[in-house]
Structure formats: structure tokens, C-alpha cells
Structure 1
Amino acid sequence: MATIKALMTYHETDVNMAMDALASAFTIAKTQISKTESKKPFKDTVSQYFTSLLSNTSTGLPNDPPSMSMPQSSGGVASPTSFLPNAVLRAHVVKAECCLLMGILQMTQESVVAYLKCGLNIRKAYNSYSIVWQEYKRMGQEYVKYMDKNTVSGVQFGIGAVHLMLSSMPPKILKIFSVFGWKSDKQLGFALLKLCLEGRGVRAPLASLTLLAYYSVLTSFAPQVYSKDMLNPAIECLLDAQNNHPNSCFFLFFAARMARVARNIPLSNQSFMFAAESSRGEWAEVAMKQMADYEVGFNLALQLDWENALKYFQQLVIEKYWSPAFSKYFLGACHEMLGQRTEAILAFAEVVSLVKGGEEKAKGTYIDSYVLKKVEYFQKSGYQDIDFSLPALEVLLVMNMLSHMEKEKLEKCLKLVQDTLTVIYEREKMEYTIRLRELVPTVAPPDYCEQRAVLLLMKASILNSLERFDETIAHLNWILDHKDSIKEENWVVPFAYWECGVTSWGLGNYRKSRKLWQMAMSYTKYEFEYRLAVRLSLALSKCDEVGITQAKMHETEGSTTNGRKRMPLLHAIP
């Protein structure tokens, strides 16, 4: 419960409380295990540790270490006395789950040191889960006599969650984890979590939440490639969860996220409000209310209802949810979209103090870095150049939320972007006119490459969301042709490669998409690097799936001779 709350709020106090609770549970479980292990010969304990540490299988599941090969009965089945007691197995699962949850909390901090700590905790978790899994396999069909179903549920959830979590990480982060000697298997993760769900053990609800969180990540980070394929499995998982937990605010929350993916924003808003309402009087009441308000605020922005959106973000600033600096920036962006320039400037002016005031506690986040840089950029020109920006739509762009917008609203956004591009053109025309009339003018030559690049990227993203893929090519080529001139907005070029990949994907050129997304992955040190890296990793994984499918299709086509299909070769049959 403490971990879930910390993942909802990201408040330092909530994170510390969760880490303390997990550390205490870990110590208790470790103590219980040590009471049993102290009776074993030292060499057996060391052998088991190193075998577990070095085990690496093609299936992604733990091997049976030699030290676990206990005496067998005359019938060839392991003797019941050779199995670890259920209480000890349960303690191993508790210990492993503590490490897993600590790792997840550290992963959300998005720093190299945090990822390294996360990797160490995931390694510890996998080692403990391995011990239980090995015992489970040795017990065979009679495991129910020696191990309760909740312990089985725990180990299925744990190994499944580890594999699914690692499969969604970008290659740069996986390099840290590869040091520990094993690889992730997404399909195994799905299979184990579904087994856990079907078993209806103690970890079945968490298995549902993990699957829904994974579907939500896929469809929100890379909706262009995953929405069509993942929406139905997500809905099936939701229906199952709501049948078993009809009053759970968490499943209502994910239902709202899926409604947004389906571009049903009114239903999404209603579900978020129901989620907040159903949590009243419960331990997650405040956290769920804030999280729902944040999502509803974005939904209103997707409907271009800037007036009501800013009310939600104003409240989030007061409550200091997640990043107050970001909420204040988006509040100012909403004012700007409404033409309220004075209110926008006042809001932007407060962003600097909110970021710098929070740096002592949290060293700033990627989103704080982005909004601070944007405000300082506006301040350089005394907010005169803000006419060449659409700050609220830019946030929706970097969050990859334009794909969730309804067609009518996308058309309005397209007009807004085109009108802003026209403003840049008119300013350039005016400044060039001065240079025709005045010798050595004091005014510098016009240079709005950065602003034009952002707007063209926005336009390309909107056109991709409208599935007008052919129309994006010229705009994206302009950005890449001028990439050496784009210095301040250093996130634009890798994001442009992402949109290029989306365009190619929409046109059916999957190989080109893969190549372009790999090029985007080569860029580093920009504000949204981690967020885009996750998106690219998920998209490249989808490319691999499509490549395998196409290869199988070619094999099938190759087995057709003279218009008749041949039977597969015998050696190809397992």
C-alpha cells in the first residue's frame, strides 16, 4: 500500500515511508530464512548462492542448481522431507517482493545511480524467486501438498513482473542490467502474470494492475504502434478485474486511461471522476484525487477547453502534486492559449522560483529542467517571441498525447499551428524589408529556426495523428535539413526522427521506421531523453514482432509450389 501510494504521488515523504516499510519487511523475512539456513552445511549454502547468481537460461526461468538436488525416494520422486518448509518459501517470496518494489521505486527516480541500485535490487529479487521456483518445479504435480497457492501466486507475480518490467526498458538502461547476467522475456512475463491472475491467489489483483499498467504504458507512450493491438487485451483485463473488484478505484483509473486511448474523452473524464469518488474515506483518497485531477486537466486540454484545464492545474500547484513547477507552467500555457498574456507571464515568472526552490530537495527532474529552460528562453526576448510559440500544444506534443485527440480538435490545432507559422513569416518579411532600406542596420538578421522547427514538428505530429502521412514528409525533412542550426530546443531533432518513423510506419515501410527510430536512439542529453528512449524501445520491440511475423509469412509463401501448398519439412516439426 505504501509503495502504491509513493508511485501515485512521487512525494519524497511517501517514497521514504515506502522504502522504510519494505526494508523492515525484508529484514523480518531474511531473519526467518537465516534461522533455517543456519542448519545447512556452509558449503551447500555457498554453492546454492553461486549457482543462483550464475544461472542463465534461454527460457528466462531459473535452472535447478546442483545444491537443490535433494535425496529422492525409491520411486524416483523427491522425498517430502527434502523440500524447504512452506513458511521459508513464503519468506523468500516476501524478501524478493520487497527487493522488486524497492527497485521499481528507484527506477522512477530516473538517474544512473538509481538505475544501478534498481538493478541490484532486481537481481536480489530474482535470486530469491529462483529458490522458490526451483522447489516448485521439484514438487511437480504434488506441489499443493507442500506449498500453499498464495506462495505460488507470489512467485508467479514476481518473476512475471520482473520480465515484463525489463522488457520495456530502453537499451541504455538494459546495459546496466546486463551486467547481472540475464535477459528479459516479455512473453514469459505475460504468461506468468496471466497464470497468477487465473489462480486467484493473493497476488492476482497486483498481477491485474501490473498488466494494466503495462498496457497503459504501451498505449500512452507509443499509441501510434500499439493502440490497435493492445486496446482489446487491455479491455479484457479490465472486465475481468472489474468483475472481481467492482469498487476498486485503481481499475476505474485504468479504465479512464483506456477510454482516452480510444479517443473517448468524455468517458475518460467520467471514469477518472468515479475513480476519485470511489477512493473517498480510503487510504489512497488524497493521492487518487490528485492523480485523477492531473489526468482530467490533460483531458480538458485535449478538448481545447483551456479555461477549465487551468483550474485543475491551479489546484495541483496549491497541493504541490508531483512537479508544482510544471503545473504552474502549464497553467501559464493555458492562459496564453486563451490570449491572456499578462496572466501567462505572471505564471511563467513563478516557475523559476518553484524549480530553484525545489532543487535543494530533489535536484530537479527532467520536466522541471524543461519548463525552466522554456521560461528562461521566453524571458530573453522579454516575452516578445512568445507569439511564435504554442506552449500548451508543445507540452501535448512531447507527452505524445496529440494521438488521443479527436479529429475535429486536431483540425483546429492544425489551423493554430499554421497561423503561428504565418506570424513568423510576417516577422521575417518585415525584418528583411528593413535590410533592404537601411545600410548596416542595428537589428540582427531574422533567425526563427528554433521556433519554426518546433511548430513544424507539431504540425507533422498532428498530421500523423490524422493519418495524413504523405503531408508530413516535407515538414520533417525541413527540420532534419536544419538540425545543425537547432541548438536551444535540442529535443526537437530526436523527436523529429520519432515522427519520421511514425510516418514510415503509417505508410507501411516498417524497415525504414526501425532505421529512423534507431537513429533517434543515438541522441543523448536532452530534457525528455528517458521518456523518448522508453517510447523508442517499445516501438523497436514492435518492429521485431512485425519482422518475425513477416518472416513467417515469407516462409509460408516459400512453401507454395505451382499454386499448391506443400506440407512443412519433417525436421521442422518439433
Structure 2
Amino acid sequence: FSRYSRGTWTLCETVLLLTLHPLPTPERAAKPQISAFAFFCCVHVFTHVLCGSSSQMTLKECLDECMEALDLFLNNHFTESLERLRPRVNESMYHALIYATVLEMQAMMTFQPDDISNAGNTMKSAQEVCQRSGSHETVAPPPLPRLHLYLQLHAEVCYAECQLQRAALTFLQDENMVSFIKGGIKVRNSYLIYKELHSLIKSPNCLKGPSHIHLEGGISFGIGAFNLTLSLFPPRILKVLEFAGFSGDKEYGLSLLDEGATGLNLRSMLCALLLLCYYTFLTFILGTGEGDVAEAERLLKPFRLRYPRGAIFLFFAGRTEEIKGNIDEVCFIKCAQQAWKQFHHMCYWELMWCFTYKRAWKMAYFYADLLSQESLWSKAMYVYMKAAYLSMLPKDEARPFGEDEVELFRKVPTFKQKIAGKSPPTEKFAIRKARRYKAPSPIKLPVPVLEMMYMWNGFSMISKRPELTEGMMQTLTEAERTLLESPANEYSADDRCLIHLLKGLCLKNQGLLQAAEECFNKVFSSEKKIRFDHYLVPNSLVELSLLFIDQGRRDEAIKLLHKAK
């Protein structure tokens, strides 16, 4: 009988008492009798209880239904997925967690304050459901039946996941330091629970129930996510975090996430998405543009077979092809046709860059314009890119929608925002570059699109397509000629160095290593002439060091990296 809730037994007890002792009335005060309706209720309830037809679902039934809802979600049936989960969000920890996770994904893509607040409240409710399902204070085995202990472990991992996701929402929702500290405490609590659970399931005496694969998947996701994410922090910060009890082992994190992604469990999709983000985005944004395409394709293959039209996996398939040099918009266009509008914005961003690589400035402007109107993630960046694309068009060519790039550049600072108390670095950069247009007679930026493309490591994306690199070289040559023909001004030295840096990248892609080295050295030798864009000198040293590493000149590369630092 332990599978039935206290509420079920209370109801049965109430009906039984009503049956044996009906409420007294003046007519029958002296002679109690059985109520026919109460007797019927008693028989009905006891039949359901004794025959196992309780409204409460077993753990396996809950997990099976959640897997079905997840399948609907990955097949683009987003509304149906939520409807499948909604009826049991107040009684099943897994229904509550998956429902809140879907809402959080939506909130992170829309970036709407109302969506973030709603997701936070839903995740808090999910956490309360997990608390009712099992104590989160300790995972030490209490004197409980084995089934209760096993349910407690599942409740623990769900609780830790709720804590982690609530922390992410806290960072997005509030900008003040108090909220940042609260989010940090949630992160630490989540990590400690995952760490204790991981030790427990690796012990020889660990319980292994019929749904153990889902439990292991949840713990692999948590420990793997922490290790991979923390490994991306600068070494000095990582040492402090390790002193506080965290660990940031990248290889260990990747192995755990891979283990979770390849198993058929409830968190396999989350593990796969985190790995795909790492292989196709983080290695480009935080690294040198050497994404692991083979690993990304291996992870994608089973999901593409299972969800051939799934928007999420279509998006990553497009990104993988983009990294390989196949600058084709087909996957992103298919992805943008799906029902959940927020997926469109991710596709618009990639489509914008695909047309940038092809130098189709007006088409790229079109997608930047769509983002500026529909997405709240980084309006400063979207408006800057709109202005940048317009500035690449000839003076006498008509501007789409009659917009003026000078006015757009001047609006960029008004869209500045903060995430987790900090302004995104790319927004800061865009605002800094747009300052040139504050003057009554502004001096035009030479190649703002190509400069921002460099910031997002776009020159690595076109390295496998010689014709695209050749097109960029033509644009840079024209800009250099225009610069030489124009009268000197306070930005002249900065603009010349920028063009040298970008030409060096193109020459490197073309295999002209000596010419590329000369371009990077020209920037370094002009250090004292640069007045505004001081980032050009350390970046040129980094690019030169990467060039030396490719040539096997490691000692020279290390010296340059120290100098850049």
C-alpha cells in the first residue's frame, strides 16, 4: 500500500466513517442507518485502491509520459508537449521539472521580463514538488523502505536541477549584486547535491531500480555541465572556485555529458544540446575557431534520424555545415518555418552571417532588421549591424526602408542592457565604435561589418572557401584605397591598422603566410600611432602567434602571447 498517498487513505477513511456513521438528522437521530450514496462511494474508492487504479502514477509511468512529452517537443509540437505535462505538474516531480524547463528555454529565447518571471515562478513550484517527493537536506540512507529511498534519490536530482535553473533565471532577471549573490548560493547548493549524489551512485551498495538510467543521466548532466562550464573560466578564477569546492575538469565534463547524451534517458537531449553548443559555438566565441565538427556530427546523427524535422537539431545541423564551409541557408530557413517563433531568432542570426560571408549586404541587413524588431536579446548589436550593412553600400544606392546609417549608429548606445549585472562585451564594443558618429560631420568606419565578423571569429568560418576569402580581400583592398585617397584625420592610423589586421587574416586563409606575418607586424609597429582602437595591437600579436604555432615556431609564439597578455 506504500504506493498510495496519505490523501488517498484519508479519503477512504472519511467515506468509511460516513458509511458506518452517517451524519445525524432529527428524523434518524435515534437510529443511524447506512446512506446508499455513501456506501456507493465507499465501494467505488476501495475498488480503485485495491485494484491499483489510483490517480497517482508510478515513477516509471511518470518518466514514460515525460519522455512522450519530450518527443512531442523535439518534433516541434510545443503546445501539445506542455498540455501533456500540465495536468500533473503539482504532483509529479518529473512533470513539474520538464514543464518548467520548457518554459525556461522559451523565456531565455524571448528575453521578455514576463516570460522570465513566469518561468522563475514555475521553476520554484517545481522545486517545491521535488521537496515534497523527497528530502533535499541529505542523501544519506535513512531507515526507509528501499522504494522510498530510491524515490528520494530521484527527488534529489530533480531538486538540484531546479536550483541550477533558478540560478540562471536569477542572473537574467535582476542586475543587482544581492540577486547575483543569491544566484551564486543556489549554484553552490546545486553543485553540492550533484556531487554527493554522484559519489552515492558510484558506491557498490547503490540502489539500482528500474529507472536508474534516468537517475544516472540527471547526475551526469549536472556534474558534466559544472565541470565543462567552470573549465572555461580564467585560471585565476578557477583556482578560487576549486578552493571553494568546485571542480573544472573539461575532459571529465565532456565525457560525462557524452555518456548522458548517448543514453536513452530524460536528460539526453539536454546533455546533447550543451555539447553541441560547446562544439559549434563556445569554441568559436571563446576559442580560436577550431570547433570539433566530427563530434558534433556524431552527436547529431541519432537525433536527426529520430527527429528529422526538429527545429533544434536542424539549427545545429546548419551550424555544423557552416563551420565546414558549406555556407548554405537551407537548414536555417527550414528551422525558421517552425511553430515556436523564438527559434526563428537563432536562425535569423545565423542567416545574417551566412549572407555576410557572401557579401550580400542587403540580405544580411534584412535579417538584422528582423532581429532588431522581434528579439530582445541584444538590440544594441542588431541596430549596430543594420547601420554597418548600410554603410557598406555605395553612397548613391538607395537604402532599404529609407533608413540612414548615421542615425542608426547614433541610436546604438540607447539600447545598452545588462545580463547578470554586466553589459555583454560585444555590445560594449559596438557602442564604442558607434561613438564616431556622434559628431555633426562623422568620419565613416571603413569596414564595420568585417570588423564585427572578426569579433565573432567569422574569418575561421570562410577559411575553407577560397572564393569567399577572395571576396573579403577585394572589399578590404577597396576600403584601403578609399582610405589612402581621403584626407588624413584622427582615426586614420586606427583604420589603417584595422585593415592590415583583417588583410592578414585573409592572407593566412589563402596560405600566403609571409605576407600575413608582415600585415600583423605592421599593426604592432604602429602601436604608438593608434589613438582609439587599442585592442588591435594585442589581437594582432595573438594572430601572429597562432600563425607561428601552425608553422611549428612554438617558442616565438609563446613570447608573443606573453607580450599580448
TM-score scaled to structure 2, two decimals?
0.72
Structure 2 counterpart of 1:327: 382
Q: Deviations over 1:115-171 (max 9, x none)?
A: 76665433222211123223212355x732486321221111111111112222333
Displacement of 1:517 in angstroms is: 4.0
Confirm whether residue 3 of structure 1 aligns to residue 104 of structure 2: yes
Which residue in the other structure is 2:455 paired with?
398
CA 1:480 to 1:215, structure 2 compared with 1: closer, same or farther past 3 Å?
same
Change (3 A) 1:127 1:223: closer
Aligned counterparts of 1:482 and 1:160: Cα–Cα separation in 2? 45
2:548 corresponds to which residue?
A: 504
Alignment partner of 1:255 out of 304, 317, 321: 317
User: Within 1, Cα distance between the matches of 2:237 and 2:182?
Assistant: 12
Counterpart position of 2:413: 355
Further displaced range: 357-366 or 192-201: 357-366
Q: Give the residue type in structure 2 aligned to 1:349.
A: E
Instruction: Say if 2:125 is the partner of 1:24.
Output: yes
Q: Which whole-Å CA distance do the structure 2 matches of 1:413 and 1:8 have between them?
A: 32
Query: Matches of residues 48-447 of structure 1 in structure 2 within 5 Å?
Result: 68=140, 85-104=149-168, 119-140=184-205, 143-145=207-209, 148-171=212-235, 173-174=237-238, 177-221=241-285, 226-227=290-291, 230-266=292-328, 269-277=329-337, 279-280=338-339, 285-340=340-395, 343=399, 346-353=404-411, 355-356=413-414, 365-380=424-439, 382-383=441-442, 385-386=443-444, 389-405=446-462, 406-427=465-486
Q: Taking structure 1 as reference, are residues 499 and 14 closer, same or farther at Cα in structure 2, changes over 3 Å only?
A: farther
**Other structure's SS at 1:200 match:** coil
Matches within 5 A, 1:478-557: 478-517=522-561, 519-520=563-564, 522=565
Distance across 2 between alignment mates of 1:111 and 1:510: 43
Equivalent pair of 2:257/2:271 in contact (CA under 8 Å) = yes
Matched AA of 1:200? L
1:357 and 1:164 map into 2 onto residues whose CA distance is: 32
Q: Distance in 2 between matches of 1:136 and 1:219?
A: 32
Residue type at the aligned position of 1:421: E
Aligned amino acid, residue 200 of structure 2:
E
AA of the residue aligned to 1:451:
D
Q: Closer, same or farther in 2 for the Cα pair 1:151/1:100, shift >3 Å?
A: same
Instruction: Answer whether contact 1:252 1:272 (CA < 8 A) is retained.
Output: yes
1:451 aligns with 2:506: no
Consecutive unaligned residues in structure 1, runs of 5 or more: 38-44, 49-67, 72-78, 432-444, 523-574
Name the count of aligned residue pairs: 457
Question: 2: distance between equivalents of 1:477 and 1:115?
Answer: 43
3-state SS in 1 of match to 2:384:
helix
Contact 2:318 2:332 in 1 (8 A): yes
Write the distance in 2 (CA, Å) between the matches of 1:507 and 1:116.
46
Measure, in 2, the Cα distance between the counterparts of 1:454 and 1:186.
Answer: 34
Asked if structure 1 preserves the Cα contact closer than 8 Å seen for 2:545 and 2:556, the reply is yes
Question: Separation in 2 of the partners of 1:490 and 1:13?
Answer: 40
Q: State how far apart, in whole Å, the 1-side matches of 2:535 and 2:173 are.
A: 20
Distance 1:208 1:357, change over 3 A: closer
Aligned CA RMSD, in angstroms, stands at: 3.4
Q: CA distance change for structure 1 residues 519 and 446 in 2, over 3 Å: closer, same or farther?
A: closer
Asked if the contact 2:280–2:293 (Cα under 8 Å) also holds between the matched residues in 1, the reply is no
Amino acid at match of 2:413: V
* Deviation digits for residues 261-317 of structure 1 (CA, Å, limit 9, x no counterpart): 001012xx111112222x32xxxx111012211210111111111121111112222
> What is the alpha-carbon distance in structure 1 between the residues aligned to residue 351 and residue 104 of structure 2?
24
Distance 1:83 1:511 in 2: 61
Q: Secondary structure at the match of 1:264?
A: coil
CA apart distance, 1:178 = 3.5
Q: Which amino acid aligns with 2:448?
A: P
Conserved 8 A contact 1:501-1:517: yes
Q: Distance in 1 between the 2:394 and 2:222 partners?
A: 51
Larger deviation, residues 501-510 vs 290-299? 501-510
Deviations 1:159-213 (A, max 9, x none): 1111112222333653563452333112211221222233311111111111111
SS of the residue corresponding to residue 207 of structure 2 reads: helix
Deviation digits for residues 453-479 of structure 1, max 9, x if unmatched?
211111122223334332222221222
Cα distance, 1:145–1:181 mapped onto 2, change above 3 Å = closer
Find the counterpart in structure 1 of residue 28 from structure 2. Answer: none
Indicate if the aligned counterparts of 1:86 and 1:147 stay in contact, CA closer than 8 A: no
Deviation at 1:354, TM superposition (A): 5.2
- Contact 2:389–2:449 (Cα < 8 Å) also in 1: yes
- Deviation of 1:108 (Å): 7.4
In 2: Cα distance, 1:126 partner to 1:403 partner: 36
Amino acid at match of 2:323: V
Give distance in 2, aligned partners of 1:368 and 1:333.
14
CA shift digits 1:22-47 (9 cap, x unpaired): 3332343345444x85xxxxxxx6xx
- Greater helix share, structure number: 1
Secondary structure of the 1:201 match is coil
Q: Is the contact made by 2:380 and 2:414 (CA closer than 8 Å) also made in structure 1?
A: no
Q: How big is the shift at 1:511? A: 4.7
CA distance in 2, matches of 1:178, 1:110: 26
Cα drift, residue 102 of structure 1: 3.8
Choose 113-122 or 388-397, whichever is displaced more. Answer: 113-122
Higher RCO structure, 1 or 2 (CA under 8 Å, sep 6+): 1
C-alpha contact (below 8 Å) 1:30/1:95 kept by paired residues: yes
Amino acid at match of 2:248: S
Q: Which residue of the partner structure matches residue 13 of structure 2?
A: none
AA in 1 matched with 2:405: A
Asked whether the 8 Å contact 1:457–1:475 carries over to 2, the reply is yes
* Corresponding residue for residue 470 of structure 1: 514
Over alpha carbons, which structure has the higher Rg? 2
